[in-house]
Amino acid sequence: MSINVGSEKRSTKRRILTALLSASLVLAGWQILVILTDIPRFILPSPLDIGKALVQNHKIIRENALVTFSEVLTGMFLGVMIGVTSAIGLMMSPVVQRLVMPLLIFSQSIPIFALAPIITLWLGYGVASKIAVTVLMIFFPVVSTFLDGLRNTDPTLTEAAAGLGAKPFTVLIHIRIPAAFPALASGLTLAAVYAPIGAILGEWVGASKGLGYLMLLANGRAKVDLMFAALFVLSIFTMLLYICTSWVSRRLASWPIPVQ
């Protein structure tokens, strides 16, 4: 066990160092490109310009970032809970599953940016509409991956449990759900990437605060460095959210299935 923990820590450190090295190379190349080509700052600011804008406008960026972060985290929590609950409900009722799944699949043919203005019209320009867009953004990846995991449980486990007299609900709780955790882990990692996109999209449609609102405001005032600074903060938050979610996902994927 200690060997596995030690190797996992070394692997994590290597991934972090590799990511930092890659980011450093990209930033250095970006800075050199701007210097050599003399691109106007209002078209492509250099990393140093973005860093200055980040420091000079740290207060307004922090205030708007907290709004966006709260929208993302709340929307992701609700989306995962609704998606997990829906997948379990669909698994318990094959009839409902046959009726609802085509509707869920059809709903994915409607672009979320087409629904965002309608949701904003219904829920207003506050955080509720942004949370709703975020929930819609991540609901289908969570429910589809988790439902696939529930349906594709090893039949030898379910048949053995049924042979021992276990009821379908008992099989679902003690066998299907733990066996579907690796599939749910995939849905969670997708949700971590999609959730910030949903919140920002909602803010672009209509908002008075948030990083998406700040980006539009900075773009309208030709403050491209501030727009990039807000985008940088959003990217860092998304990466941290993805890392944390991946850690949880790995724990879920290794969840033991009770077979006794």
Question: What is the DSSP track for the chain?
Answer: -HHHHHHHHHHHHHHHHHHHHHHHHHHHHHHHHHHHHT--TTTS--HHHHHHHHHHTHHHHHHHHHHHHHHHHHHHHHHHHHHHHHHHHHHH-HHHHHHHHHHHHHHTTS-HHHHHHHHHHHH-SSHHHHHHHHHHHHHHHHHHHHHHHHHTS-HHHHHHHHHTT--HHHHIIIIIHHHTHHHHHHHHHHHHHHHHHHHHHHHHHS-SSSHHHHHHHHHHTT-HHHHHHHHHHHHHHHHHHHHHHHHHHHHHHTPPPP--
2-6, 26-30, 177-181, range with the lowest pLDDT: 2-6
Between these two residues, 201 and 105, which has the higher pLDDT value?
201
Q: Which residue has the higher pLDDT, 178 or 260?
A: 178
Residue 260 predicted with pLDDT over 60:
no
Range of the domain at 182: 45-253
Q: Which two tokens stand for residue 233?
A: 């903060």
133: left (phi over 0), alpha (psi -120 to 50) or beta: alpha
The mean per-residue pLDDT over the stretch 38-59 comes to 91
pLDDT of 1 reads: 46
Summarised one tens digit per residue, pLDDT across range 154-164 is: 888 888 888 88
Total of domains in the chain? 2
Tell which wins on pLDDT, 256 or 246. 246
Q: Are residues 249 and 168 in the same domain?
A: yes
74/10 same-domain check:
no
Give me the pLDDT at residue 228, please: 95
pLDDT at 45 > cutoff 60: yes
Residue with the bigger pLDDT between 2 and 199: it is 199
Tokens 């919140």 map to which residue? 199
Residue in the block written with tokens 């008992």: 170
Least confident of 9-13, 122-126, 142-146: 9-13
Q: What pLDDT was estimated at residue 258?
A: 60
In this structure, are 177 and 217 located in the same domain? yes
CATH number at residue 165: 1.10.3720.10
Do 246 and 117 lie in one domain? The reply is: yes
Distance CA(246)–CA(220), nearest Å, equals 36
> Which one-letter amino acid corresponds to residue 43?
I
- Asked if 94 and 2 sit in the same domain, the reply is no
Judge if 22 and 70 occupy the same domain: no
- Same domain membership, residue 51 and residue 14: no
Euclidean distance between CA atoms 72 and 80, whole angstroms: 12
Mean pLDDT for 8-21 is 75
For residue 56, pLDDT over 50 is answered with yes
Give the span between the Cα atoms of 234 and 87, in whole angstroms: 30
Mean pLDDT within 170-181: 90
Residue corresponding to tokens 């809970």: 81
What integer pLDDT is reported at residue 181 of this predicted model? 93
Residue 259 domain-assigned (yes or no): no
62-90 exposure pattern, b = at least 16 Cβ within 10 A, e = fewer: eebbebbbebbbbbbebbbeebbebbbeb
Instruction: Assess whether 53 and 32 both reside in one domain.
Output: no
